[in-house]
Amino acid sequence: MKTIADLGDLRGKRVLVRSDLNVPLDGQSITDDGRIRASAPTITMLSQMGARVVVCAHLGRPKGEPEAKYSLAPVARRLSEIVNTPVAFAEDTVGPAAEVAVAALEDGDVLLLENLRFNKGETGKTDAERAEFAGRLAALADVFVSDGFGVVHREQASVYDVAKLLPHATGGLVESEVNVLRRLTAEPERPYAVVLGGAKVSDKLGVIGNLLGTADRLLVGGGMVFTFLAAQGHEVGTSLLEADQVDTVKGYLERAEKEGVEIVLPVDVVAADSFSADAAHDVVAADAIPADRMGLDIGPRSNELFAEKLADCRTVFWNGPMGAFEMEPFAEGTRALAKTLADITAGGALTVVGGGDSAAAVRQLGFDDSQFGHISTGGGASLEYLEGKELPGLTVLDSDEVSDEVSDGKDA
């Protein structure tokens, strides 16, 4: 894949940058600006090169039309603070406001377009629908830079189709994400452990199957662990359980034993009588969860066990919290795991936090990004990469072909 350095002199050129600025909002307040900060270096570099930078991104899941609560206006304000330069904001994506704002750009200026998903064509179900919208985006630019790693597993107009219409390259964020993931899949330094948590085992079946041929150890926590415990024949009470996946998990446990992959499950859990921060709770053995209680975190002995199993690891990938970390009584398992990873990072291990809830958790619990080897901006994209799937937003960048119809970005 080409990088920005391969694009030559960009001074005076309109560069469309697909960033991932899908940050959590509380009203107009951004509660975690990690993705904005991760996107800023590429935007700053292009601005300093004299490009006329046109940033596009999505926020939330609007239904193809404007919704005020999903406006990127707060993101434009925060981006301006982070890149330390004014960021103009267009109140539409490809309409009159965007056209006027792009035309007004001078060398080094930065503009953020309104939410891509306010347009049905962004996530259109047909190639034609996406291509029409991609053409209108391409008409705003001369060059395309793909820097939204969190969306490269989606075949969407601003990720996939627009790359066919303009000279293109990967941005620094996507380049760094791919380089780290390659280190996890191509001869990782061993011992190599993968820690998986989060709510559903079904979300991670593909990656578990693929990792059984790669990882040395697989540590399982979060809501998904109860399907593993049920597969071993244990009572899980009212805990989250995917009963239709029990047989599949049994197969993975048998396969892991045959292939010499150690699967580590919690030995105790924090069990509560309801899903609430105020719920009565106590620590019980993982194989003795009361029938009327639900597990909401891994327990203290499990924290010690996981720390022991990770202590000698040279490579660790973590995706998914160990419990309902948003509620303080059930946050200690995730906090303890983050502390363990920070410690082995300081000792020289490569630790990768796989985006999504895991990234939000470590920040919410008071850890700094610098305490880990890498915090991914794309949980789903990371998992699909590790699963061995092709990511459309990356494969399209491998081609140097640009459509004759829109090769100058002005004929769509």
Does 326 belong to an annotated binding site? yes
Please answer whether residues 224 and 175 qualify as being in contact, where contact means their C-beta atoms are separated by less than 8 angstroms: no
* The architecture CATH gives domain 4-170: 3-Layer(aba) Sandwich (3.40)
Residue 378 pLDDT exceeds 90: no
Look at residues 374, 348, 4 and name the one whose alpha carbon lies nearest to residue 178. Answer: 374
- Judge residue 29's burial from the number of C-beta atoms within 10 Å of its C-beta, 0-12 exposed, 13-18 middle, 19 or more buried: exposed
Average pLDDT score over residue span 19-47: 94
In the chain, the percentage of residues whose pLDDT exceeds 70 is: 97
| 22 is known to lie in a ligand binding site | yes
Q: Are 166 and 142 in contact (CB under 8 A)?
A: yes
Positions annotated as catalytic residues are 35, 200, 356, 380
Answer yes or no: are the C-beta atoms of 214 and 189 closer than 8 Å.
no
Better-scored residue on pLDDT, 352 or 199: 352
What per-residue confidence (pLDDT) applies to 272? 97
Tell whether the model's pLDDT for residue 187 goes beyond 90.
no
Q: Where are the domains of the chain?
A: 4-170, 178-378
Looking at domain 178-378, what is its CATH homologous superfamily? Phosphoglycerate kinase, N-terminal domain (3.40.50.1260)
CB 409 within 8 A of CB 141: yes
77 marked as part of a ligand binding site: no
Q: Is the pLDDT of residue 312 over 70?
A: yes
- For 319-329, what is the mean pLDDT? 95
Per-residue confidence band for 205, with pLDDT thresholds at 50, 70 and 90: confident
Residue 405 confidence (pLDDT): 53
Q: What is the pLDDT of residue 404?
A: 54
Task: Tell me, yes or no, if the two domains 4-170 and 178-378 fold the same way.
Answer: yes
Residue 43, pLDDT above cutoff 90: yes
21 assigned binding-site residue = yes
Average pLDDT, the chain: 94
Tell me: is residue 154 an annotated ligand-binding position. Answer: yes
Determine if residue 357 is labeled as part of a ligand binding site: yes
- 401 is known to lie in a ligand binding site: no
- Statement: residue 229 has pLDDT above 80: yes
- Tell me what pLDDT residue 408 has: 40
Q: Tell me: is residue 59 an annotated ligand-binding position.
A: yes
| Cα–Cα distance for residue pair 118/92, rounded to 1 Å | 8
Looking at per-residue confidence, does 144 or 212 come out higher? 144
When pLDDT is averaged across residues 260-277 and rounded to a whole number, the result is: 97
For 346-366, the pLDDT digits (tens) are 999 999 998 778 888 999 999
Label residue 411 by pLDDT band (50, 70, 90).
very low
Indicate whether 409 pLDDT > 90: no
State pLDDT tens for residues 88-106. Answer: 999 999 999 999 999 999 9
Torsion of CA 245, 247, 253, 259, to 10 degrees: -110
183 annotated as belonging to a binding site for a ligand: no
Q: Which residue has the tokens 């292009």?
A: 46
